[in-house]
Structure 1
């Protein structure tokens, strides 16, 4: 009986970013993102349109600005989510998605919560904006994990690097993203 642990010296490192993108966590993020896009579109085309008509001038301008920012933010996030789903389903490689995702803006598109007219905006619009900012944070974190150099390229083992520590760091990042949900 051989009590020695088996170790394959030629095994490839595990890239947690790629695994995370194909996980139940991503599927939940995708579902949440697409549901928020639909919810915002329904609101802006229905109740939001009606509520905007009764706003004072400053709040009306804030409504137009914030609804445009919300729509743009959601469309950028939906594009990113669709790219990742295409990778998961084998329709494109991670490298191709990486090139395409450079066209997607996940940073910026902030909102002026302390700007003129913000407090007069309909509560539902402010809630949708908050939900979209939270979703944007989750997506940006996952984007960083998936597309960071560490998750895509194996490190050369040197005296300063610690491959096991790096893998543990990526696991911690993955759990941190899950905790942000």
Structure 2
């Protein structure tokens, strides 16, 4: 599946138009379900078999497990939040212009790959798999986010007057 949002019909569309088109697409519906399924799968693992996996590790492995599970949870919560905002746009609960606000954009995924102790135990396979899937999902969402908002700086606030002033400044170069 390709994550390209700009098509010949909307290459010059505004970011708000691109967002509205995207959230109405089948691609978004599939991506939303994929993301939410991964969140649910991860929660089920961490609350169930993951606890047993963690207890079976030595001290260094258990600490690495805890750190990795926190990174995984953080990454997925950011992804889920982004997807939920886009769904609000799709359902008319939020305008596409509002969704362009900085607080609704995805930050870079600064969470590094897992670092398990050398000469120690390896990560449980399910945790490693979920971490890899979450990094892939996050990277896809980040590319989509950047594509949707290409050519327009994110808005710092959702303020009708401020947004209008930004448009005027852009139009008159001041």
How big is the shift at 1:139?
0.4
Counterpart of 2:34 in structure 1 is 32
Counterpart selection for 1:101 from 99, 104, 117: 104
CA distance in 2 between counterparts of 1:69 and 1:128 reads 11
Counterpart selection for 2:76 from 74, 77, 92: 74
How big is the shift at 1:119?
5.7
Counterpart of 1:130 in structure 2 is 132
CA distance in 1 between counterparts of 2:151 and 2:93 reads 23
CA distance in 1 between counterparts of 2:121 and 2:107 reads 27
How big is the shift at 1:35?
0.3
How big is the shift at 1:112?
2.6
Q: TM-score by structure 1 length?
A: 0.69
Q: Alignment length, in residue pairs?
A: 141
Counterpart of 2:149 in structure 1 is 147
| Deviations 1:85-117, CA, capped at 9 Å, x for gaps | 111111111221122414x5353123235x426
CA distance in 1 between counterparts of 2:121 and 2:133 reads 17
How big is the shift at 1:14?
4.0
Give me the CA root mean square deviation: 2.6
Q: TM-score by structure 2 length?
A: 0.71
Task: Report if the CA contact (8 A) 2:23-2:90 is conserved.
Answer: yes
Task: Report if the CA contact (8 A) 1:69-1:111 is conserved.
Answer: no
How big is the shift at 1:83?
0.3
Structure 1 portions without partners, runs of 5+? 1-12, 157-181
CA distance in 2 between counterparts of 1:106 and 1:36 reads 20
